[in-house]
Chains A and B, each alone.
Chain A
Amino acid sequence: MLTVLNPVGFPPRVARKPPAPRLDSLEGKTVYLVDCRFDDSDVFLGQMQAWFAERLPGARTVVKRISSVYLHDDPTTWEEIKSRGHAAILGVGH
């Protein structure tokens, strides 16, 4: 029998983070469709916006591109969504 050392590093502690409260419905609400600027995701979100217009017209949608590349935090956009919107759909991760 051999005793050997474990090669794996040390992970940080992870605590649960509470999600935002959900909405009762999307009726009368503003939903931001956030374009993460990945490989034609703007075209995809345009189609999702069309779906909302046809199927859920009571929800207002706004397509918003993130300010820079997805690797950077974008507090300006997040503040806009918080102040002017009620919910967000982020897309598309690859």
Chain B
Amino acid sequence: MTLETGYGVPTVAVHTDKFDRVVRSVAQVNGMPGLRQVFVPQPIMGKTPAELRAYVDGRDPITGRPVMQEVVEGLTRPFDESELGPAEFDRSTPRLVEPDTEENLHRRFLDNHWTDMLPIVLPTEARVADMLAHTRRQPDEIVGRMRSTHFREHWAYSVEKVAVNAVMAGARPEYFPVILALAATGVTARSSSSSAMAAMAVVNGPVRNEIGMNAGTGAMGPYSHANATIGRAYGLLSQNGQGGSVPGLSYMGNQGNSYAYNSVTFAENEERSPWEPFHVQHGLKPEDSAVSVFSGVRSTAFTLGLRETHWREHVRNLLRGIDPNGPPTLLLDPIAARQFVTRGGFTKKDALIDWLHDNALMPAGEYWDYQLVQNYIYPRATFGEEPWASKLKAAPDALIPMFRREDIHVVVVGGETNGYWRIMGCNYQKTVSVDDWR
């Protein structure tokens, strides 16, 4: 679209057929519904040159017409008026849903893809008003903007819209400032990525105890009303606030992700942690309340404690088990955290993160061959972006760090029933004050 509209170059985009609805939708919301798009079968990845030549010589699986005929025509056949669409697309959002019976409204919310397929609480005006009473912010104030993918447009949402989704999730009104802070991050918990991302949310500070969040036994679910419904509200707000998360249209996660049901939302166990809280690491004071969000939550590795003799090797093995494009965030039960102090000598989180960076190593040849490294890191390395440009100079057998140091994080959570701990492969995005949304 940029080449067409910004540079005046006639362009055809070729996609695989699984993306038919989503790319047409993206073209529409970018003002070019008639963008010339041609489809070939899925997948491209792993096919031989001969198989891909057959795609080129074959037919578009969507239209049934020869692929190259569509390509050539797409560059040479003038547009007619009907392909260009209206001068402006009307996409207003009404404040209210048409009144109906309770049963019919539940059905409508499901049919409109406004839920996560679990039962919701209907957002009546009285329930939404109760939620709004727990912030000083005005209902019509815009909290933030989200989109499901880089190619889509940002949608905006107000304090009232966040309250509507919080009610639907079953959240109690006293949770509302935390939910508003999550909304204010602008980080979607409903990415449309085909990699089936979820989000993760860590809550720090006094608000954890004020609203009964769980940082101990069962904190990561499903045993805390606050943790469960705050995380669910974040997900519902994301999918509705950004204008949808519909499989095949605005959600392409190939396997889905059960972490998305409540966006792995929990409180850090600050009281039992040997280190400073996560939000303090990111510029806030211990007495501040804050939410920190991570995206790209997919892979998990776990183990029990740290063994005296081979703990270093065991941790390295865990780190090698996650994709190099999904950096590690360690989620440590306090027992495991203290073992990192006693066995590793990491009296500061920073020292542990240094060690993780220096020990998550891989032969350069293996590293650069990862598909996601090829897709997302190699291009940046070839154009000089550090630290990847330097890594690219390494011999294939040379060991190089799998992750940037700044992408590695540590959070303490758990109730000390045992020293199990895990690594989430994910990307820290930002930390936002809860107090600003009270």
A contact residues vs B (CB 8 Å cutoff): 1-26, 31, 37-41, 43-44, 46-48, 50-51, 55-56, 65-69, 71, 73, 78-79, 81-82, 85-94
Contacts and interface: CB of A to CB of B under 8 A. Distances in A.
Contacts of B385: 68
Interface stretch (B265-273, B282-290, B376-384): B376-384
Given A18-B84, A19-B35, A93-B16, 4 more contacts: A15-B88, A47-B53, A50-B53, A94-B16
Contacts of B383: 67-68
A9 B161 contact: yes
B64 interface: no
B244 to A, nearest CB: 8
Contacts of A11: 29, 91, 93, 153, 155, 243
B32 A82 contact: no
Q: Which 4 A-B pairs have the closest CB atoms?
A: A91-B14, A39-B45, A93-B15, A17-B31
Interface in B134-150: 146, 150
A88 B5 CA distance: 13
A8 B307 CA distance: 50
A51 B57 contact: yes
A10 B93 contact: yes
Contacts of A31: 75
B156 interface: yes
A17 to B, nearest CB: 4
A5 to B, nearest CB: 5
A82 B7 contact: yes
A47 B95 contact: no
B30 A2 contact: no
A56 B194 CA distance: 35
Q: Is the interface of B mostly helix, strand, loop or mixed?
A: mixed
Interface string B168-179: 100000000000
Interface residues of B, number: 102
A51 B69 CA distance: 12
Given A7-B114, A47-B52, A68-B383, A2 B105 contact: yes
B259 interface: no
A88 B153 CA distance: 24
A47 B46 CA distance: 14
A20 B109 CA distance: 40
10 contacts: A2-B105, A7-B240, A17-B31, A22-B10, A44-B47, A44-B55, A71-B376, A82-B3, A88-B11, A93-B14
A61 B327 CA distance: 39
Contacts of B97: 3-6
Given A2-B102, A3-B125, A92-B44, A19 B34 contact: yes
A8 B240 CA distance: 5
B125 A89 contact: no
Contacts of B68: 48, 51, 55
B8 A82 contact: yes
Contact of A37 (B6, B244, B379): B379
Contacts of B154: 12
A4 B380 contact: no
Given A40-B45, A89-B71, A10 B156 contact: yes
A38 to B, nearest CB: 6
Contacts of B43: 39, 94
Nearest to B46: A40
A13 B29 CA distance: 9
B228 interface: no
Contacts of A55: 68
B387 interface: no
